[in-house]
Chains A and B, each alone.
Chain A
Amino acid sequence: MYTIKSYVFPQSLEEAYELLTKSPRNNLILGGCCWLKMGSRRIQTAIDLTRLGLDEIRAADGWVEIGANVSLRRLETDPILKRRFGGILGKSVSSIVGVQFRNCATVGGSVFSRFGFSDVTCALLALEATVVLHHAGELPLADFMALPIRCDDILVKVRIPDDGRTAAYESMRRSSTDFPLLAAAVSRRGDAWTVSVGARPAMACRSQAAERALEAGQGAAAAGDAAAAELTFGSNLRGSAAYRQELARVLVRRAAETCMEGGNGQ
């Protein structure tokens, strides 16, 4: 049972930031709110950013920018994203619960919370995305994920280099709208490869061994083996570490194969 004492729609990010930093422990930036009610937080001030226009997707100056309040559903329907990166941002989220859930859940909420099972984070990692924080500024998503989770800054947007890369996304789920049991995203720009594996069940992370294997031309199967060997896997309700390791082998290979053929959506 959560409670909210005061609910504010700030007029600017600066105002939101001031409110938040007054008491980062008690105040909270609201995202899509899909899981708010499951918590038992006593929120002093809930800060709602939905009136700040952070729900836009833009392509300019060699970057694609996705506002923090863009819904997961928008990732599937937006023409800019449909045409880029093999459409994997849309594909990655398309199995999450249902349309009405994805109309609520936001990119910012998903990325900021650093959930291990986050499909979109796994996909963004493979696209070498950066995050823009209101106070700390821009930093690579991978770096952001390595930081301890602190609630004293605001995720404003996610940026992806608009460099014409192809990409592919694979996930395995126990049932079709469940969290992923394991996810893999691979992107390719010329001879440069990026491989990320999510829901291990820990946070998504890159597999440099798999990337090296691909860059060395050893092929998709070698990349799958490399990811399975390099990364650590854990067990939870959905599957064991041993099974996840096998899945990483298969899904990384499949995503790499798809990339070799031109990526998802080709």
Chain B
Amino acid sequence: MKIKITVNGELFNKHVPNDMMLLDFLRKYGFHSVKRGCDTSNCGLCTVWVEGKPVLSCSYPAVRADGKSVTTLEGLRPQAEEFGRFLVAQGAEQCGYCSPGFIMTVLAMEQELEDPTEEEILRYLSGNLCRCSGYTGQMRAIRAWLQHRKEQKGGEQA
């Protein structure tokens, strides 16, 4: 089927197989940040945004994304770098394979939840598996980054 998908602001007018999932579409067109970690929709590595909402691209039919706007980590380079520096400062990116999907969800969380508690952060991110870090270093990075964002916003308001 012929579809039009906007990825990171760029329009892709493509013929795709009807049974292609968005993950395969994105990787095919060079969005290598999008990773596959499982076959059962359980790991969160393939998380991208469709219309600003985090979804599993492994389970989202590419055709369903026709006419929609998709965001991958490549489209959020400044934000990824900003949060990424906090993650790297903890050494918590480790192998890095789950980092893109994880960061997509963290950035979505920041937009969706206001001043989240630790419990809310954990629950929002529970669908992003990581086998290296034990998650604790990721939490340190998130707290430090949220604090930094708060100070930035405070600065803007003042």
Contacts and interface: CB of A to CB of B under 8 A. Distances in A.
Note whether A and B form a binding pair: yes
Interface of A: 2-7, 30, 32-38, 43, 46, 48, 50, 94, 97-101, 103-104, 176-177
Contacts of B109: 99
B109 to A, nearest CB: 8
A97 B61 contact: no
Interface string B62-73: 011000000000
B21 interface: yes
A97 B55 contact: no
B54 interface: yes
B127 A7 contact: no
B47 interface: yes
Given A100-B44, A103-B53, A104-B56, A3 B39 contact: no
B19 A94 contact: no
A33 B61 contact: yes
Given A34-B56, A104-B59, 12 more contacts: A3-B19, A4-B61, A7-B61, A33-B60, A36-B61, A37-B39, A50-B64, A97-B41, A100-B55, A100-B127, A101-B56, A103-B55
Contacts of A30: 61, 64
B110 to A, nearest CB: 13
A97 B127 contact: yes
The 7 closest A-B pairs by CB, nearest first: A98-B127, A4-B19, A7-B18, A4-B18, A100-B54, A34-B41, A34-B59
Contacts of A38: 39-40
Contacts of A176: 126
A35 B55 contact: no
Contacts of B21: 37
A99 to B, nearest CB: 6
B128 A5 contact: no
Given A33-B59, A33-B61, A104-B60, A99 B105 contact: yes
Interface residues of B, number: 30
10 contacts: A7-B18, A7-B63, A30-B61, A35-B40, A98-B125, A99-B126, A100-B54, A104-B56, A176-B126, A177-B126
Contacts of A98: 44, 105, 125-128
Contacts of A6: 18
Contacts of B28: none
Contacts of B133: none
Contacts of B59: 32-37, 101, 104
Nearest to A46: B18
Interface string B98-119: 0000000100110000000000
B44, B56, B58, B60: residue with the most chain A Cβ atoms closer than 10 Å:
B56
B42 interface: yes
Contact of A48 (B47, B54, B61): B61
A33 B41 CA distance: 10
Given A7-B1, A30-B61, A36-B59, A101 B41 contact: yes
B131 interface: no
Interface in B1-49: 1, 17-19, 21, 39-42, 44, 47
Contacts of A99: 54, 105, 108-109, 124-127
A94 B123 CA distance: 8
A38 to B, nearest CB: 6
Contacts of A2: 19
Contacts of B58: 37
A110 B55 CA distance: 17
A5 B18 CA distance: 7
A43 B44 CA distance: 26
A34 B55 CA distance: 10
